[in-house]
A and B are shown apart, each in its own frame.
Chain A
Amino acid sequence: MSFKTKDVTLSDDRPKTLLLQKHSDYLAGYGLNKDDYEFCMTEYLRMSGIYWSLTAMELMDQSSRMPKDDIISFISSCQDNESGGISASNGHDPHMLYTLSAVQVLAMYDRLDAIDVEGVVRYVSSLQQEDGSFFGDMWGEVDTRFSFCAVMCLSLLQRLDAIDVNKAVDFVLSCMNFDGGFGSKPGSESHAGLIYCCVGTLSICKRMDALKAAELAWWLCERQLPSGGLNGRPEKLPDLCYSWWVMSSLSMLNRIHWVDKKNLEQYILACQDAETGGFSDRPGDITDPFHTLFGLAGLSLLGNTSIKRVNPTYCMPQETIDRLNLEPQILQI
């Protein structure tokens, strides 16, 4: 009998405690390194970069280190007057992904007044298709990620009424696979990141009853490897961001206790870089704001009390979700 081999080994000199100050310094300094090749390469996803960094800072209660006023005026400047959508950066085209990031950031700042909200509603609803799916932008790529972006964005704006929610749910359900998981389109392989998007959509639309909860939760538990880390598909390497996609999905399914929390926590902590700060996908790799957010958010779900509570559906601080009176559904078992 052969057992799984695709995994990593945690070394003894790995970080074992949470280095909050390091992470805060890392994110505060990230935007300053304009000579950083990485910074320049990421212009096309700047808006999401701001969301990852700010949310991570919020969770550490360090968001005062982010340039709030600059961020807000930057977001305003990225809204396209014509379509109402928001782009990744100035001069880029509007896109669903960055429209959501912008709305999330403004919701955390309680500054949704800084954009034309009706414009965003118009943009998002214009991207819904006959079958209930959503385009990511005018070029017509369809993906369950965009369904999630659309409903999350509109719910943050209290405007879910602007789309056909039933159809949006039907499309997501048409992407459910025989293993209970979800892919990007009908028939696409189950993938933990896309499962998060689909479960999140159902959570916001309060249709968690439509899931094959037992099968799905088991599939998600199967993602845990001997190192404690989680992968996103069978026979793939563990990656820190899956501690978010898998754990948040299990939280919405109310079955987070099925994974080995202690081992997972060890894995997440091992993905910290004790010198530079930040988290990476696997121990020893280069850190980035994306994995830093998901490392912190994952630890929050695991109950780490030095981090603020994160909402599993929105990947935003629970206090923001409470302030907006949003009640994403958690499956009752």
Chain B
Amino acid sequence: MSDSGDSDIAWTFYKDRPEWSDITPVPEDDGPTPVVVIAHSEKFEDVYNYFRAVLQKNEISERALHLTKDAVELNPANYTVWQYRRDLLKELGADLRSELDYVESVIKQSPKNYQVWHHRRVLVEWLQDSSLELELTGDALLQDPKNYHAWQHRQWAMKTFGLFENEMDFVDNLITDDVRNNSAWNQRYFVMNNHLGWSDLNVQKEICYTLEKIKFVKNNESAWNYLRGVLLHDKRGLGGNAVVLSCCEELYKNRCRSPYLMGFIIDICDEAIKKGETNSIYCADRAIELCQALATKYDKIRSKYWNYLSENFKKAKYIENGSANNIHV
């Protein structure tokens, strides 16, 4: 397309275009710096000089719409260009379907840009048509499975238009591809929270799913965090589920020393102490031992954190013993 300026060979400066001769270009007001303007990019300067000019007089025209395309191509992050473009689309009654195609092509080139995704959202709202959004975001996530913008847009479309039906399959594929993809685990939680719900059966299902993934890659922060998230919905707490406990003990027995496993057992100990379960294997001594192993061997970079926890457990033990002694007096 010649008007989008994607080929520099065919490029004609706006200042050399007869159809633009009625416009006086407006250079950038330089702001708080000495005026030493040197041509950085002639094309950039030319396009933006004309952009400022039409913006200033708020010209509503097809040519202005084309001009915003050139301006976007040179800098898709310029939010003012997009806002002006939306004004133009509205005033001119432009075809919003072709605008959807257009913004899709810009998203493909600049997938990590706030403005392009926001433009997309406004168009979908105007058209009240979300039929292309799962595919669009799916494509973007294929390129970069952690693209925050794409995930935000996807969640927005799902919530607004109720597009939850096949999402678990999508999430499962991503987790199968990369079991450490935290964004996918977050999306799993999003679907559970907003669609499937946390019935006892679903909690158990999610626990089993997560434990399988943990057995596959043990030192996976995302899966361990998700497990904790699921257990928020289990009234019995972190240490009340037999499947979880036996899996953790099994891993530990088989010499898994992932800091996440050890941290999880420490928190089970903490919970048991707070509940006053005195005959449990989840006690202050075990927690202290684990904290010390983490601080000195398995997670040295966070030794301050583990030492801090260890001290807290020692204090708890002191109080526990103190009160026990009192009984015997």
Q: A: which residues have CB within 8 A of B?
A: 1-4, 31-32, 34-37, 39-41, 43-46, 50, 67, 70-71, 73-74, 77, 87-93, 95, 137, 139-141, 177-179, 183-185, 187-191, 218-219, 221-222, 224, 226, 228, 233-236, 257-260, 263
Contact = CB atoms under 8 A, between A and B. Distances in A.
Interface string B119-157: 001100000000000000000000000101001100110
B80 A91 contact: yes
Contacts of B182: 189, 233-235
Given A37-B40, A258-B305, A31 B219 contact: no
- Cβ-closest 6 pairs across A and B: A178-B229, A70-B32, A35-B38, A31-B33, A189-B186, A90-B29
Nearest to A36: B40
5 contacts: A32-B34, A40-B44, A77-B29, A234-B182, A235-B180
Nearest to B233: A178
Contact of A40 (B40, B52, B183, B301): B40
A2 to B, nearest CB: 6
Interface stretch (B188-196, B241-249, B320-328): B188-196
Interface stretch (B7-15, B169-177, B220-228, B285-293): B220-228
B52 A179 contact: no
A256 to B, nearest CB: 10
B267 to A, nearest CB: 9
A259 B180 contact: no
Contact of B148 (A4, A35, A189, A234): A189
Given A37-B41, A177-B186, A70 B33 contact: yes
Contacts of A88: 79-80
Nearest to A258: B305
A3 B260 CA distance: 11
Contacts of A1: 218-219, 256-258
B28 interface: yes
Nearest to A194: B148
Contacts of B28: 40, 43, 89-90
Given A1-B258, A141-B118, A187-B155, A91 B55 contact: yes
Nearest to A217: B305
Contacts of A35: 38-40
A187 B217 contact: no
B161 interface: no
A234 B180 contact: yes
B146 A236 contact: yes
B31 A89 contact: yes
Nearest to B74: A41
B32 A34 contact: no
Contacts of B305: 218, 221, 258
Contact of A234 (B45, B152, B221, B232): B221
Interface string B49-76: 0001001100000000000000000010
A188 B146 CA distance: 12
A173 to B, nearest CB: 15
Given A43-B28, A183-B186, 4 more contacts: A93-B79, A179-B225, A222-B302, A260-B303
Interface string B175-213: 000001111001001100110000000000000000000
Contacts of A228: 301
A70 B32 CA distance: 4
B127 to A, nearest CB: 16
A178 B232 contact: yes
Contacts of A259: 302, 304
A30 B33 CA distance: 10
Nearest to B217: A2
Most buried by B among A140, A191, A235, A263: A235
A93 B151 contact: no
A3 B143 CA distance: 24
Given A1-B257, A44-B78, A91-B56, A141 B114 contact: yes
Contacts of B183: 189, 233
B118 A139 contact: yes
B329 to A, nearest CB: 33
Interface in B105-120: 114, 118
B40 A34 contact: yes
Interface string B298-311: 00011111001000
A234 B301 contact: no
Contacts of B304: 257-260
A191 to B, nearest CB: 7
A222 to B, nearest CB: 6
Contacts of A187: 155, 159, 186, 189-190, 193-194
B31 to A, nearest CB: 5
B222 A50 contact: no
Contacts of A90: 28-29, 31
Contacts of B218: 1-2
A91 B302 contact: no
B57 to A, nearest CB: 12
